[in-house]
Amino acid sequence: MKTLELQLITVGLDDGTQGVFVGMPLVSAETAENSGAVENIWFSNVKEVPDSLTMEELMGLIGKQLIDRLATVQ
């Protein structure tokens, strides 16, 4: 079976609400000690996606959004 590396990031707000974000890992165990400190966090617009979407399809959409975003960043 083909697998994808995913990482959950939970963000807690001061009013007690929480959000969970899913993505590919940014920092590996090998590089965590030497680099990988968070410098900035950006949030995308909220997108509606079909509830039948597979994880692989979801990661494809996220990848496309990242490529589109990088193309517009100067």
Residues 6+ apart with CB under 8 A from 35: 27
Is residue 19 assigned to a domain? yes
What pLDDT digit, counting tens, does each position of 3-33 carry?
Answer: 878 888 888 899 999 988 887 787 777 766 6
Total domain count for the chain?
Answer: 1
CB-CB neighbours of 46 under 10 Å: 5
Give the total residue count for the chain: 74
What pLDDT digit, counting tens, does each position of 27-58 carry?
Answer: 777 766 676 677 777 777 788 889 999 888 88
Is residue 21 assigned to a domain? yes
Q: What is the 3-state secondary structure (H, E, C) of the chain?
A: CCCCCCEEEEEECCCCCEEEEEECCCCCCCCCCCCCCCCCCCCCCCCCCCCCCCHHHHHHHHHHHHHHHHHHCC
The boundaries of the domain holding residue 64 are 1-26+51-74
Is residue 22 assigned to a domain? yes
